[in-house]
Amino acid sequence: MFVNTAGGIAGGDRFDIDIVAGEGAALTLTTAAAEKVYRAAGPAAHLNIALKAEAGARLCWLPQETILFDRARILRRIDIDLAEDAQLLFCEIVVFGRAAMGERMLHGEFIDRWRLRRGGRLVFAETIRLDGDIGAKLAQPAIANGGVAVGTALIVPGDAAVVERIREAADSFGSEVGISAWNGFAMARFCAQDAARLRADMMSVLGRASHLPLPRLWLN
């Protein structure tokens, strides 16, 4: 379990997380609470996450939500390196604003760069960039249609059987959810008007994707 002793991420901060699950190891990681990214008047914060699972290892990266305050600025990079026979259960949830405080993220900067390699081969890459008038962009139908939270689950290995198992719960989802499999992994993408609803949907997907129990902190 990670404990953020700084209490949150402020502008100009840099955090580097480097995790290796050795050969045959099983490792599950989570956070003590949601991560907060505060308003930044100056430089953006940087968060670099490197995850590696060696031969026969199983790695579960299951942090709680990342909450972006209005005018937060963060550049995040996630690099995942898996051996051909390693297993991965991975999720990330990003919330735009503090709903409990009546706040939405209207302006700021969020750049999210992901790279997934399996057996040394790049199998997934994407970069999301939201900056400037983020509130207006999230309101657009083709982006988030007014959603305030997004999430991604990655399951390796993943195939049509995993997708079908997740889709069996589709009628209970309160978020918009897209599920697919390619290049040897499965992915579920979420967008929701309510962060708590998205969290519940994510828990359902993770439970169907793996027989492993979620960390107890997810159940609080």
pLDDT band at 127 (very low <50, low <70, confident <90, very high): very high
Q: In this structure, what token pair is assigned to residue 10?
A: 């402020």
Using CB atoms within 10 A of its CB, is residue 140 exposed (0-12), middle (13-18) or buried (19+)?
exposed
Continuous segment of H or E residues that includes residue 155: strand 149-156
pLDDT band at 202 (very low <50, low <70, confident <90, very high): very high
pTM for this one? 0.94
Q: What percent of the chain has a predicted confidence (pLDDT) above 70?
A: 99
pLDDT surpassing 90 at residue 217: no
Q: 60 - beta bridge partners?
A: 28, 89
Average pLDDT, the chain: 93
pLDDT surpassing 80 at residue 206: yes
Q: What percent of the chain has a predicted confidence (pLDDT) above 90?
A: 84
- Top mean pLDDT of 29-38, 79-88, 99-108 is at 79-88
Q: What is the pLDDT of residues 166-191, one digit of tens each?
A: 999 988 999 999 999 999 999 999 99
Whole-number pLDDT of residue 100:
75
**For residue 157, is the peptide bond before it cis, meaning its omega torsion is within 30 degrees of 0?**
yes
Which among 180, 196, 195, 205 is positioned nearest to 90, based on CA atoms?
A: 205
> What is the torsion angle, in degrees rounded to the nearest 10, for the CA atoms of residue 74, residue 75, residue 81 and residue 87?
30
> What is the torsion angle, in degrees rounded to the nearest 10, for the CA atoms of residue 196, residue 199, residue 200 and residue 201?
120
pLDDT surpassing 80 at residue 7: no
Whole-number pLDDT of residue 99:
79
Q: What is the pLDDT of residues 77-100, one digit of tens each?
A: 999 999 999 999 999 999 999 877
Q: What is the pLDDT of residues 44-65, one digit of tens each?
A: 999 999 999 999 999 999 999 9
